[in-house]
Amino acid sequence: MLDTIIYDVKNNIGYITINRPKALNALNQVVLGELSEVVDMAEKDPNVKVVIITGAGGKAFVAGADIAAMQMMTPSEAYDFARMAQEIYNRIQYMPKIVIAAIDGFALGGGCELAMACDIRVASAKSKIGIPEVTLGVIPGFAGTQRLPRLVGLSRAKEMLATARKVPADEALSIGLVNHVVEENPVAKAEEIAADICKNSISAIALGKRAMNEGIEMELKKGIEHEAALFAVTFSTEDQREGMTAFLEKRPANFK
């Protein structure tokens, strides 16, 4: 039984909706525990080809880690809390399926960090994204200091950290913090992207995602060599046979 998250599967999409709208979907241990559970379910379910993560209520994706839950934490409890979230976010980044964040409203602190762990981010025009932790006397703890500079560059990330500014969606688009901005209903745009993904080879996408995730952490020459090894793996799949045969037979590929 889930209390703070709604999980649903439709048309090969696993929908994870953080559902604590009264607290703007802030993340406490219960939400993180349930997020871990549903991420596992989505990863293991062969019917799920793409995952969409969103927030309920129309005001926030996630407004951060739960400040009330953190107020009295000891340093050791804060460390465990951060590690718990980081481990789940890492699983999202490295899972062999594409994960899309559909941001409708505030994505702040732990919410911005959750969105950054996803592969693709779609935001509605009213969304605001930022890492305002320094206004609370802390720093980002769910990998924001690591993922944000990798996404937008070190200098922009430092400015966002130090000013705590909530970056509007159009600016987030221009600095590469989100992939798309839509007037409203970012879930519909995420579904459109998911539908395009589902037409392609899911096993190839998993290996391509892995090549990028692992390669970006390597020296270029090593990353390129790693790509060749994973390219070779695709030649042991049914999808490679089907994809190339379909092309040569001038018909659409029928991937399973």
Q: Provide the binding-site residues for ligand CAA, judged by CB under 6 A.
A: 23-24, 26, 63-68, 106, 108-110, 113, 132-133, 136, 140-142, 144
Question: How do beta strands 167-168 and 120-124 pair?
Answer: unpaired
- Nearest distance, CB of residue 136 and ligand CAA, angstroms: 6
Comparing CB distances to ligand CAA, the nearer of 108 and 177 is 108
- Nearest distance, CB of residue 175 and ligand CAA, angstroms: 20
Could you tell me where the beta strands, DSSP code E, fall in the chain? Answer: 5-10, 13-18, 50-55, 60-62, 98-103, 106-108, 120-124, 128-130, 167-168, 180-182
Comparing CB distances to ligand CAA, the nearer of 110 and 243 is 110
Comparing CB distances to ligand CAA, the nearer of 125 and 206 is 125
Alpha helices in 154-201 (DSSP H): 154-163, 169-174, 186-198
- Active site residue ranges: 113, 133
Which structure tokens are listed for 13? 């999409």
Comparing CB distances to ligand CAA, the nearer of 49 and 147 is 147
Comparing CB distances to ligand CAA, the nearer of 161 and 193 is 161
Q: Please, how many CA atoms are within 13 Å of residue 205, restricted to the half-sphere of its CB?
A: 17
Contact 54/186 with Cβ under 8 angstroms?
A: yes
Please count the other Cβ atoms lying within 10 Å of the Cβ belonging to residue 185: 13
- Nearest distance, CB of residue 53 and ligand CAA, angstroms: 16
- Nearest distance, CB of residue 149 and ligand CAA, angstroms: 15
Contact 199/211 with Cβ under 8 angstroms?
A: no
How far apart (Å, rounded) are the C-alpha atoms in residues 203 and 209? 10
- Nearest distance, CB of residue 184 and ligand CAA, angstroms: 18
